[in-house]
Amino acid sequence: MKKYTEMSKEELLALKQELEQEYAQVKALGLSLDMSRGKPGADQLDISMGMMDVLNHETDLRCETGVDCRNYGVIDGIPEAKRLLGEMSEVDPDHIIIYGNSSLNVMFDTVARSMTHGVMGNTPWCKLDKVKFLCPVPGYDRHFKITEFFGIEMINVPMTPTGPDMDMVEKLVSEDPAIKGIWCVPKYSNPQGITYSDETVRRFARLKPAAPDFRIYWDNAYCIHHLYADNHDFLIEILGECERAGNPDMVYKFTSTSKVSFPGSGIAAVAASKANLNDFRKYMTMQTIGHDKLNQLRHVRYFKNLEGLHAHMKKHALLIRPKFEMVLDTLDRELGGLGIGEWTRPHGGYFISFDSMEGCAKDIVARAKEAGVVMTGAGATYPYGKDPKDSNIRIAPTFPSLEELEQAAKIFVLCVKLSSIDKLLAA
């Protein structure tokens, strides 16, 4: 197939006319398809419904230490929940705190507490002239919204196939004491699906930050979210690496069961050094008398252990793998060889990252919306919503049905073709 960049003006105009007729036909269908967020589909939620039957009025609702889970107490999580989420996070239960339903909420709280009260005795960030965060890009929009909300200056760090550009990270962190953190989605990153290499993780653990209160915000949201049982990525454990490198306090490791059981009704956790966890507990005693222990008990009794979690995630993979493969097949078939886009092929997680020709992403997303397909806003994968190249688009295949997704994927590639032709004609 001929590259669009090799076509004459006449060929491009003829192709544009043909594609615009197709686009008009699609618009006339009046479709309403949602590919805007990485939400599980209803069929994925259905496979966790057995959890609703685990507890009833006859169930013994005491945890293994005899505490009545219907009542107050056990501020940092029941022991069996610490063990389950500890296994999921690859850390000892002594290094974990169980929270409520949302790891994003814990990240927000952690930044807020650092602003108002500082980190482990250091100056509260609100009393400093400048606070900065490093942001691997493209990245998770909700991370960037947290730091933007608190007025923290965000610095773009390019992602590479092995993780963030570590030469840049090491240089910036070691030279600037105003840099207090870095956002990371280290496994099946949002949106590219990249898993940090062993070398990248070890370089993170060996950072020499100028700020004593610098922390790595290690959001391991997709730690067990594999698409393929026989071809999945491996991530080495960061807390152990930091300990071995003499930096035990440098990382906060967040995780949750939001896309394992029920989003909004899962359980979240933070793994960190004992010194960091003690710092967390100080504010927790003011904030709550205890999180939802019945939900913790429900999760433990349903999943039982790490093997139970992995078995459950294989059911998720059976449902979403065909969706990822269908989107990738459509991109390969319709756009392969045209020179107007590149895309990732993740082994897990929830997204496919698409890079259009420079200056086309906003137009592609707008055209798709006009044709009835809502996507994540162009630019959302960059701080302040500003993609300097206007090229990155996050594709979220999980929520629509396979039939709806097939329609959405066809509309998306049609919009990519039209936007690319307009860009080339304008040039």
Nearest Cα neighbor of 409 from 329, 344, 353 is 329
Residue 167 sits in the same domain as residue 117 = yes
Lookup result for tokens 């078939």: 333
Q: Does residue 315 sit in the same domain as residue 300?
A: no
Say how far apart CA 239 and CA 35 lie, in whole Å. Answer: 35
Domain of 116, in residue numbers = 63-304
Query: Within this chain, do residues 161 and 29 fall inside the same structural domain, yes or no?
Result: no
Candidates 213, 24, 23, 243; CA nearest to 131 is 213
Q: Count up the domains in the chain and report the number.
A: 2
Query: Domain check: are 319 and 277 in the same one?
Result: no
CA distance 403 to 418: 23
Q: Residue 37's pLDDT is what?
A: 87
The pLDDT, as a whole number, for residue 12 is 97
Q: What is the pLDDT of residue 99?
A: 97
Same domain? 317 vs 261: no
Q: Residue 359 belongs to a domain with what CATH number?
A: 3.90.1150.10
Q: Which of 257, 275, 304 is the last residue of a domain?
A: 304
Residue 58 counted as domain residue:
no
Inside any domain, residue 28: yes
pLDDT at 272: 98
Output the six-digit token pair for 339. 């020179």
How many whole angstroms from its chain centre is CA 89? 16
The residue among 250, 285, 304 that closes a domain is 304
Separation of alpha carbons 330 and 310, rounded Å: 29
261, 279, 304 — which closes off a domain? 304
User: How far apart are the C-alpha atoms of 201 and 195, rounded to whole Å?
Assistant: 10
* Count of Cβ atoms closer than 10 Å to residue 209 Cβ: 22
pLDDT value at residue 147: 98
Cis peptide before 186 (omega within 30 of 0): no
**Strand pairing class (215-219; 179-184):** parallel
Q: Is residue 32 part of a domain?
A: yes
Answer whether residue 238 is part of any domain: yes
Residues 207, 72: one domain? yes
My answer on whether 293 and 314 are in the same domain is: no
Is position 54 within any domain? no
| pLDDT value at residue 8 | 96
Are residues 183 and 169 both part of a single domain?
yes
Is residue 89 classed as helix, strand or coil in its secondary structure? helix
My answer on whether 148 and 285 are in the same domain is yes
pLDDT in the model for residue 1: 76
CA 202 to chain centroid, in Å, comes to 21
Q: Are residues 190 and 235 in the same domain?
A: yes
Cα distance between residue 55 and residue 65, in whole Å: 18
Could you give the strand order of the β-sheet that contains 96-98, starting from the edge strand earlier in sequence? 96-98, 268-271, 251-256, 215-219, 179-184, 132-137, 153-160, 163-164
For residue 72, what pLDDT is reported?
95
Q: Rounded distance, CA 22 to CA 371, Å?
A: 11
Same domain, 162 and 270: yes
Q: Which helix (H) or strand (E) holds 87?
A: helix 79-89
In the Cβ-directed half-sphere of 177, how many Cα atoms lie within 13 Å?
8
Would 153 be classed as within a structural domain?
yes
The model carries a pTM of 0.96
Domain membership of residue 84 (yes or no) is yes
pLDDT along the chain (427 residues), means of 10: 94 97 95 91 97 97 97 96 98 97 97 98 98 98 98 98 98 98 98 98 98 98 96 97 98 97 96 97 91 98 98 98 98 98 98 98 98 96 98 97 96 98 96
Closest CA to 82 of 95, 65, 64: 95
In a domain, 119, yes or no: yes
Whose CA is closest to 100, among 272, 303, 288? 288
Tell the burial category of 43 from Cβ atoms under 10 Å away from its Cβ (0-12, 13-18, 19+): middle
- Specify the CATH number for the domain of residue 287: 3.40.640.10
Cis, peptide link before residue 93, omega less than 30° from 0: no
* 373 & 247 share domain: no
